[in-house]
Amino acid sequence: RVSENFTRKYTGIDTLIRIDGYYYHEDGTRLPSPFMILNNGEFQILYVRYENHSQIQEKLGNDTQTARGKGNYTLSGDTIKVRWAMAYQNRCYEIFSEQYLIVNDTTLRRIWHLCELSRPYSGKKSDPTRNEIYKFYQYPVDAK
């Protein structure tokens, strides 16, 4: 699988940001996809849109991984560089590359986003980032 071929080891990110919950960007009408950053280099995102935190917590508490994109991240100074994949259709997927600037231990700012589509008729599409702010929301997640 595209999202599973990376070394899982301690990254030390817990010394820079909170990881005992999830991050989200609230745009005033709904909560876009929340994501979690784990201490072993793994990135998980719930790529279904949710209307409120209760729905997010319900999905986080569900053991099924069907609506989760997965990938990994690296640290470069105060920047988290993420690459994750999401199933799209039959044996197709989208690969996302994103960068988040660490503002403080509970705030990240997305500064870059790129989506690569695996479908034969498409190439790459980029989504201009509007300096979206992602805030931390505590939740007891299992960081195995």
Per-residue pLDDT tens digits for 52-78: 777 788 777 775 555 678 899 999 999
Query: Which residues are CB-neighbours of 12 under 8 A, at least 6 positions away?
Result: 39, 75
Contact 28, 133 (CB under 8 A): no
pLDDT recorded at residue 144: 42
Per-residue pLDDT tens digits for 78-119: 999 999 887 766 667 788 889 999 999 999 999 888 877 665
The reply to whether the predicted model has a pTM over 0.95 is no
